[in-house]
Structure 1
């Protein structure tokens, strides 16, 4: 039986080192000691996540607690899971009082170090989705397996704790038992930035050049008459996008899994604002604003899984099934025609193009070189770490943003710069209210956030800097938009920022 203090100490070891190998060794050592019933919970805790998701506890509730710590460690991993499940089940009249009582009882069983860990966990401050890669390697090490079958099983299950339990309990055979299941979302394949179109084209012998839309990622599953629609973060939005459900239900197939984007168009056929599209995802009632799907991949069709087939085969299946909903683009265009597709995409109001290797399989969750996005301006998806109170006409508003890049080795985001540019009055009002809700701590000048909000930043480039821990700083950064469709695990890494250094 593993105690919570063992998880806390391991988490501390991981946070204290920049060495990926040391992180992997520490986590794998603890995973190897776990009883099967503890694996799911401990894996979530080590990844900085609350087992089972949010428990409905706000930071204000946590900050008001003052519970004397236990004299010594006695709280088990299993007891933490039971306490979190209890918290999640509290609702109705008197729920605030009962939630406080349950939290007090849990913290009374915890040492001072365990209390700090639990408070940060419940408040969302331990969420470090970038730890995902280290966790996959640690699970593989603890199970005595290569990392690739663990990574693939995670892609197909979408749940790291479930994957870890299978690896540690059943080894390679259990991992090989994971298959694409229609109705269960697959973690999406991602594109990495390319310096320019020629560079992207040179990286593959044969390629597809497709429009990069200013829309929201969707994954659609159909099984007979049952259709489900998921976001980039695997959230089920089926009930909010009836027009997409109806369209997919009308396709000539029995089962299918399609990957793509959706966006709202204006009367002229040009894309509306990204915020308009995202607004539909949270709608409780049908809206007049209709969403249009544009599919760019087919992962399954009528009983046949296509994940491991080359992209050319998946696109052929997509063209047979949904030619009218296929994203605009061309197969194997020469450099001149590829440049024309790029210009056509921009002229139609889209962001640029994505160049894809036609020989590549579907490798979810990693920004490799099989898919390369090309845009006319430099942009990065960064994590908001904090915001400073404004001056002058911005007095009373949170204005100057502290921006961080994802640490691929699992640490907290690394600060790479600040900006107060690009903020409209509407955005200033929104982020002031939103940041106070996401506050981890505050001082006279700054509100420090739980690091899980992603913002898209446009910039002129980056430069070497000793001011920030990542060793680089943004040049002429400005806010383009917030990205509610992404979490911190999908922000750009410090490696992507450093790759923008000139020369």
Structure 2
């Protein structure tokens, strides 16, 4: 556990991407199986210890520490694992056993996996007794899966690839066909085993992504334009008699959308946008957009492990197809977009029209005409425009010059800060998560959203000082503040919401600027926000 704790400490305090990659690579080369495999599972979010949750950790801490002291400490520190690792009181006479075989990552994981809900927290407490503060932190991060050490799943896999001279795209190709602790992957990397294969397994392939267009222009003779739909990007994989749906992060979401998986029987791999059927409320120029509801409708289905008949009926899902990666066993990713598009168009006619349709190409004579079309298309299911080079292969990740995303201009509203909470990771010492509201006609301020992004480090410090000096009440880790500071909030769209007292919910809210020049009484109204719903 000591080496893993050193790795986490290094990743937390290192901002350089290359330095993080070196830390991961050095650790993986020096650490034996299966410890390094379980470490990779933790770094990539594929480790699940179902009987060790935050509530269970809180319960074992409060048996040894005054609950009020723990609550105050957690409020100050901002991170559960860090708070517990610093506060945990060792029994008198207990000797640290940091390098004990029983405290190796593999031994810890295997023990916690075999214990039930009542036994696992007690075993975790016994382990914490034997560790120093840094190793306790590593153990708790491992157990909860909430690492937050500035490492994405892709970065961790890139570190593994660089450790053994592998191609990261080839690692991604087989990743979802393997299970922790990934022994075949490390054997391949060290040259002691064959390269794992994804044959006959419906595995996830990394998505091709786009760069923001920003202020550039492209020639429509070289680029095709499509709408960027506001659902969730999915990959549909059918091999043999099995079909799976994967999210952009590579999560298997088949169980959440069984009707889509059940309707796809053509061997191959497709890329598209998962949407929910609903009334089309705008964008008169978009005949192909009929039938797509807003993201708010899709949210009613997301995250459900089982779907009720009512949800299936009320929020029927379908996929608007963008691309084809495999046609049967034939890999088309090296072919140009134009050829892949023709193959996709030929395939769509064989699919169930209730579950699959084609994202149409936008016809525009030139870029100026495309600008006009985009400007008139603020539809509930449209985020903007995608521009795809006609000869582009389908490559993993973002490659300059191939695909661009041209998102629609955001909406904005002036809102008043109501509550604040500490952030996570390097922001855990600052009040960086802000709940903001708008006024009702009766003069009541109701929450309409929450944001933490869009501000500089200096603005963060300014807002943190405001929160500390303007606190009027505390509710655990949350501070209520004077209703005096206005934030200009940018957001992609706004929808009706029965879950919020205000009746509205913002999509992708972020802080555009701090309006110290504007009195809180002049902030926007909820009625005004509702007029933006399309």
Q: What's the TM-score once normalised by structure 2's chain length?
A: 0.64
For residues 295 and 418 of structure 1, do their structure 2 counterparts lie closer, same or farther at Cα, with a shift above 3 Å needed? Answer: same
Rounded Cα–Cα distance in structure 1 between residues aligned with 2:369 and 2:429: 40
Alpha-carbon shift at residue 222 of structure 1 (Å)? 1.8
Rounded Cα–Cα distance in structure 1 between residues aligned with 2:439 and 2:105: 43
Counterpart check, 1:310 vs 2:339 = no
Residue in 2 that maps onto 1:59: 54
Residues 21-80 of structure 1, C-alpha deviations (whole Å, 9 max, x = no match): 4333333222222224333123335x3x56632433221321333562642422449843
Residue in 1 that maps onto 2:322: 296
For 2:204, which of 154, 160, 185 is the aligned residue?
185
For residues 40 and 478 of structure 1, do their structure 2 counterparts lie closer, same or farther at Cα, with a shift above 3 Å needed? Answer: same
Contact 1:357 1:370 in 2 (8 A): yes
Taking the TM superposition and a 5 Å limit, the aligned residue runs for 1:351-430 are 351-366=383-398, 369-378=401-410, 399-400=419-420, 419-421=434-436
Residue in 1 that maps onto 2:187: 169
The alignment partner of 1:24 has SS state of helix
The alignment partner of 1:13 has SS state of helix
Rounded Cα–Cα distance in structure 2 between residues aligned with 1:369 and 1:84: 44
Counterpart check, 1:106 vs 2:127 = yes
Residue in 2 that maps onto 1:231: 247
Residue in 1 that maps onto 2:40: 43
Residues 53-108 of structure 1, C-alpha deviations (whole Å, 9 max, x = no match): 243322132133356264242244984334334433444xxx33x12222123324
For residues 57 and 429 of structure 1, do their structure 2 counterparts lie closer, same or farther at Cα, with a shift above 3 Å needed? Answer: farther
Rounded Cα–Cα distance in structure 2 between residues aligned with 1:107 and 1:331: 63
Residues 441-488 of structure 1, C-alpha deviations (whole Å, 9 max, x = no match): xxxxxxxxxxxxxx888x9xx67663449xxxx972256689xxxxxx
Residue in 1 that maps onto 2:141: 120
Matched residue count: 417
Alpha-carbon shift at residue 367 of structure 1 (Å)? 7.3
The alignment partner of 2:30 has SS state of coil
Residue in 1 that maps onto 2:458: 466
For residues 28 and 73 of structure 1, do their structure 2 counterparts lie closer, same or farther at Cα, with a shift above 3 Å needed? Answer: same
Rounded Cα–Cα distance in structure 2 between residues aligned with 1:312 and 1:77: 57
Rounded Cα–Cα distance in structure 1 between residues aligned with 2:111 and 2:264: 39
Residues 312-349 of structure 1, C-alpha deviations (whole Å, 9 max, x = no match): 22222111101561112248963145335535653575
Which runs of no fewer than 5 residues in structure 2 stay unpaired? 65-88, 281-289, 441-445, 462-485, 495-507, 513-534
For 1:153, which of 167, 171, 176 is the aligned residue?
171
Alpha-carbon shift at residue 414 of structure 1 (Å)? 12
For 2:276, which of 261, 264, 275 is the aligned residue?
264
For 1:139, which of 150, 153, 160 is the aligned residue?
160
Contact 1:180 1:305 in 2 (8 A): no
Counterpart check, 1:24 vs 2:21 = yes
Residue in 1 that maps onto 2:359: 327
For residues 284 and 180 of structure 1, do their structure 2 counterparts lie closer, same or farther at Cα, with a shift above 3 Å needed? Answer: same
Rounded Cα–Cα distance in structure 2 between residues aligned with 1:333 and 1:77: 68
Contact 2:200 2:239 in 1 (8 A): no
Rounded Cα–Cα distance in structure 1 between residues aligned with 2:217 and 2:16: 31
For 1:285, which of 308, 314, 318 is the aligned residue?
308
For residues 332 and 301 of structure 1, do their structure 2 counterparts lie closer, same or farther at Cα, with a shift above 3 Å needed? Answer: farther
For residues 419 and 34 of structure 1, do their structure 2 counterparts lie closer, same or farther at Cα, with a shift above 3 Å needed? Answer: closer
For residues 123 and 240 of structure 1, do their structure 2 counterparts lie closer, same or farther at Cα, with a shift above 3 Å needed? Answer: closer
Alpha-carbon shift at residue 179 of structure 1 (Å)? 4.7
For residues 233 and 224 of structure 1, do their structure 2 counterparts lie closer, same or farther at Cα, with a shift above 3 Å needed? Answer: same
Alpha-carbon shift at residue 11 of structure 1 (Å)? 2.3
Contact 1:352 1:375 in 2 (8 A): yes
Residue in 2 that maps onto 1:80: 105
Contact 2:380 2:493 in 1 (8 A): no
Contact 2:234 2:273 in 1 (8 A): yes
Counterpart check, 1:207 vs 2:212 = no
For residues 5 and 150 of structure 1, do their structure 2 counterparts lie closer, same or farther at Cα, with a shift above 3 Å needed? Answer: same
Residue in 1 that maps onto 2:96: 71
Contact 2:11 2:149 in 1 (8 A): no
Residues 143-200 of structure 1, C-alpha deviations (whole Å, 9 max, x = no match): 2x26xx124322442489879755643239768654576511223233332225xx25
Contact 2:52 2:144 in 1 (8 A): yes
Rounded Cα–Cα distance in structure 2 between residues aligned with 1:413 and 1:181: 45
